[in-house]
Amino acid sequence: MKKNRTFVLVILSLIAGMAYLTPLIRFSFYDQMKEAMGLTDVQIGSIGAVYGVFNVACYVPSGILAEKFNTKKLLIISTLALCLVTVWYSFYPGFQILLVIHALYGIFSVGTFWSPYLSAIRHLGTEEEQGRIFGISEGLRGIGQTVVAFGCLAVMGLFASVAMGFRSLLWINAAVFFLLMLAVIFFVPDFDKEDAAAGDKKQSVPKKEKKTRGENVLLKVITSSSTWICIFVILCGYTVWNTVNGYIGTYCTRILNIPANISSTLSIVRSYIIVFAAGLTGGFFIDRFKAKGSGMMIVFLSTGVCAAGVFLTHHLIFICVGVTIILSYLVNVIKSTYWSILGDAGVPLHMTGIATGVISFIGLTPDIFVAPVISRFITWGENTGNLKAGFNLMLIWLFVWSVLGIGASFLLKRKKEKVR
């Protein structure tokens, strides 16, 4: 498997990228989606909330499924299901059915996929190579998403009708899922069979972890201040990321009056290209500090300053667009590095699995509440005849969460000093 593990890594990373690119297509094509499907801002927000609820609810079941069922089969089921759901999506079935579709996206992009994907990635390298393998996978996800997103943008430009253009975009995504399913069938090895043949020596459970199995580890994690500091930091970080990634694109279209196709191009740059750059540079920046909380405080502070900058420069379009790009870079630095704080927060290595489950279950809830809140801000602005005021509330929301992030990072810094 060593010979073709790079190719397998590419396949798995592309699936991971597509599994989130398609359900979150509104991040890059918000206005086109709204026009093509005749949706309101509140309805799009509700669709996002349904996807978020099923995402969060499926984190724990995903781990259970990964332990009970064959990894390769779960990957095949996930890609096939995502292909079929996307084809259904392309028929524009109406708002109620779109809620069902995004619930299914949550089930098949997290429930049957997330833990099997992580398990498969782990099998591609030794314990000493895990950081490298996961880092490369994250970069490949960003590259794959960028290529597909720009391809979709180019195809949309071929159609005079926004409805037909958006439908073609969904067909492209469905076709990619189908090709990836075939790639899994023919090129991804059966890791479970390999483990059985090798006596599962490489993935044996460390003695320290075996010892904790008889203890109430879950209760320890829930009652630990370390866990709650991580939750606070990640909740703030994921909220600002979700807000910027989801709504800065439509802000550029509706407030700065940038054409939808240019706004989508900028959204793709913000959502995918910057992800790759932020992941590479952000880690080096945060690691420069003895206490990662210090670095996180600086990034959250810069995020708040940029939110205020967008508010103050909306009449200077070129400058404002530049500020939105910097803002996107900053929130992606936060998102790409916030899982590195576990050690500084004092989370023991042998509790990492259950701790990340609890932290994800609470810390990633912005998937549920950000879209409904921001969409209501925008709708309020429209209903009062002052759309800009609605978006200003979004910027204030962003600023407030940045300040909360500074506070959370300060607690992290203090915790590190106590541990030291």
Per-residue pLDDT tens digits for 298-333: 999 999 999 999 999 988 888 998 999 999 999 988
Nearest to 284 by CA among 92, 135, 389: 135
Question: Is 205 a residue whose pLDDT tops 70?
Answer: no
207-420 matches 1-197 in CATH topology = yes
Q: Which of 79-93, 251-265, 364-378 has the lowest mean pLDDT?
A: 251-265
Q: 35 burial class (0-12, 13-18, 19+ CB within 10 angstroms)?
A: middle
Question: Is 138 a residue whose pLDDT tops 80?
Answer: no
Q: For residues 265 and 55, what is the distance between their CA atoms, to the nearest angstrom?
A: 27
For the ranges 39-48, 197-206, 256-265, 272-281, the one whose mean pLDDT is highest = 39-48
Domain boundaries, given as residue ranges, for the chain:
1-197, 207-420
- pLDDT on residue 1: 46
Nearest to 407 by CA among 227, 221, 235, 223: 235
C-alpha distance from residue 228 to each of 232, 271, 308, 361 (Å): 6, 28, 28, 12
Write the class of the CATH domain 207-420.
mainly alpha
Global pTM value: 0.69
Which is more confident, 385 or 346? Answer: 385
pLDDT cut 90: percent of the chain above it: 37
The per-residue pLDDT for range 360-395, each reduced to its tens digit, is 788 888 988 898 899 999 999 999 999 999 999 999
Q: For residues 161 and 218, what is the distance between their CA atoms, to the nearest angstrom?
A: 53
Was domain 1-197 assigned CATH 3.40.50.2300?
no
- Mean pLDDT across the chain: 83
Residues 26-41: what's their mean pLDDT? Answer: 86
